[in-house]
């Protein structure tokens, strides 16, 4: 099939590449000339395991093309995915200017029937706006060309996006015509050779499904963080509680790990956008507001623990940070708890030595740019030399089984603040380290006076 994907960000690049992997002819379009030139040379703008190799294979095989010319892509395509960003607006709603900008260009330049697919995360009612925008441009041209609008939200997880795309647990498609349904079934058929998780629905329901899914997962995270904070105050162990409730098949273990808050490109933005959608329809979403409030609070829990141990004024203190990305296996720092935690520490006078396997460039060039109290190192242990404490923020695999003896040797003060509850408190204590996890009272090592 002939496919165009407009937008070569995280969703667009992965989606287009995976479509080409199945033999489709795919044109990826972006207005960023440098990005397109880099992609043609195999330089990938994001870190995602397996993506570079797949891009190169399909580019060299002639099924994956990159261009800044949307007219060229439209000529060569029958299905056009809109996969541009929908950043949070000033009032919390999704900013649709880029989505509607693409819709306008489709109306301007299409020369045959096009199936327009909303892949970007958009609020309910966006398909209608896209349809009106495309039709308005066709009317200005005096054209009687036809088109279809489809909703096909993405459910990719950063760090496992290739697997999610090639072996999806479900594909949600919102259509309003049998022809649109048939086209989407044909496109996705190769991905469902052993099962059929193609879920068909109306367009509004498909748009709502994406927001509902992310808001549900964010709710589970905030709920467990709330439980963790209560556990810490009553003397319970949140890890035991997690096992106790996760064993209930109605609850399960996914997304019930306590930590220092959620981040990324989806959960914060989508929860806020759904709150705004509710407000616009005269409904006060108390639950989602609470989810958001808990998450903002949780991003400061580690800072509070640090100040309880070292005092409000952190001048002269140095902290080694493990992890900058909002989750492992990605370089994405959007809304990462690390931004809030590091900013709060340096505002209190501290110096920070940060290490992350992939996200250092993002921190330097964007999210912590200009913070002169942050330095970056090349290894996790280098971050600890002469530091007052280790602060774990992101649960990368290389942090899971550290050398506790080396940690204790390098740190000026033998203290670990664990924002992801990675370590066994009794094991940590064996090495004379004080341990401050989430949802558990501090485990202090006994020392000789």
Catalytic residues: 266
Burial of 165 (0-12, 13-18, 19+ CB in 10 A): buried
The alpha carbon dihedral of 359, 14, 59, 74 has a sign of negative
In angstroms, what CA-CA distances link 202 with 29, 118, 149? 28, 13, 11
DSSP alpha helices (H): ranges in 200-266? 203-234, 238-246
Q: What DSSP state is assigned to residue 31?
A: S
Q: Starting from the edge strand earliest in sequence, which strands make up the sheet with 114-118, in order?
A: 64-67, 25-29, 2-6, 79-82, 114-118, 147-151, 171-174, 198-201
In angstroms, what CA-CA distances link 17 with 30, 44, 66? 14, 12, 11
Would you list the DSSP string of 370-438?
T-TTEEE-SSTTGGGTT-SEEEE-S--GGGSS--HHHHHHH-SS-EEEETT--S-HHHHHHTT-EEE-S
Q: What share of the chain is helix, strand, coil (3-state, %, to 5)?
A: 45, 15, 40
CA distance 438 to 331: 24
Contact at 8 Å (CB) between 263 and 207? no
* Alpha-carbon radius of gyration of the chain: 24
Residue in this structure with the two tokens 């002939």, named with its chain if needed: 2
Would you list the DSSP string of 318-368?
EEEEE--SSSTT----TT-HHHHHHHHHHHTT-EEEEE-SS-HHHIIIIIT
The alpha carbon dihedral of 359, 364, 366, 372 has a sign of positive
Q: What DSSP state is assigned to residue 284?
A: -
Q: Starting from the edge strand earliest in sequence, which strands make up the sheet with 351-355, in order?
A: 374-376, 351-355, 318-322, 389-392, 415-418, 434-436
Partnered with residue 118 across adjacent β-strands are: 82, 151
């Amino acid at each position: 099939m002939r496919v165009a994907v407009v937008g070569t960000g995280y969703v667009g690049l992965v989606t287009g590449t995976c479509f080409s992997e199945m033999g489709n002819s795919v044109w990826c379009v972006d207005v960023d000339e440098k990005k397109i030139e880099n992609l043609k040379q195999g330089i990938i703008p994001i870190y995602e395991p397996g993506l570079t190799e797949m891009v190169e294979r399909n580019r060299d095989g002639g099924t994956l093309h990159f261009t800044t010319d949307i007219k060229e892509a439209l000529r060569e395509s029958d299905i056009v995915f809109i996969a541009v960003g929908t950043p949070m607006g000033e009032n919390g709603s999704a900013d649709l200017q880029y989505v509607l900008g693409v819709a306008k260009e489709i109306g301007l330049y299409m020369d045959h029937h096009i199936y327009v697919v909303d892949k970007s995360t958009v609020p309910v009612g966006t398909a209608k706006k896209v349809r009106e925008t495309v039709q308005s441009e066709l009317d200005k041209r005096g054209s009687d060309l036809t088109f279809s609008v489809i909703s096909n939200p993405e459910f990719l997880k950063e760090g496992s996006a290739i697997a999610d795309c090639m072996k999806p647990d479900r594909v949600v498609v919102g259509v309003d015509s049998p022809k649109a349904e048939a086209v989407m079934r044909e496109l996705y058929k190769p991905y469902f050779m052993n099962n059929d998780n193609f879920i068909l629905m109306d367009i509004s329901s498909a748009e709502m499904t994406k927001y509902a899914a992310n808001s549900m997962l964010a709710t589970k995270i905030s709920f467990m963080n709330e439980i963790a904070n209560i556990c810490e105050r009553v003397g319970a162990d949140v890890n035991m509680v997690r096992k106790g409730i996760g064993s209930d098949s109605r609850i399960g273990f996914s997304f019930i790990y306590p930590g220092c808050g959620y981040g990324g490109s989806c959960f914060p933005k989508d929860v806020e956008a759904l709150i705004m959608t509710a407000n616009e329809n005269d409904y006060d979403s108390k639950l989602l507001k609470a989810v958001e409030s808990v998450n903002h609070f949780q991003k400061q829990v580690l800072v509070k623990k640090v100040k309880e141990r070292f005092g409000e004024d952190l001048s002269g203190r140095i902290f080694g940070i493990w992890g900058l990305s909002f989750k492992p296996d990605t370089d994405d720092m959007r809304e990462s708890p690390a931004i809030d935690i590091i900013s709060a520490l340096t505002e209190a006078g501290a110096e920070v030595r940060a290490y992350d396997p992939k996200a250092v460039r993002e921190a330097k060039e964007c999210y912590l740019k200009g913070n002169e109290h942050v330095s970056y190192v090349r290894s996790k242990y280098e971050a600890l030399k002469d530091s007052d404490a280790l602060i774990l923020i992101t649960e990368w695999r290389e942090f899971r089984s550290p050398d506790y003896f080396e940690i204790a040797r390098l740190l000026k003060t033998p203290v670990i603040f664990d924002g992801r509850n990675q370590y066994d408190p009794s094991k940590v204590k064996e090495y004379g380290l004080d341990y401050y996890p989430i949802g558990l009272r501090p485990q202090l090592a006994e020392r000789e006076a």
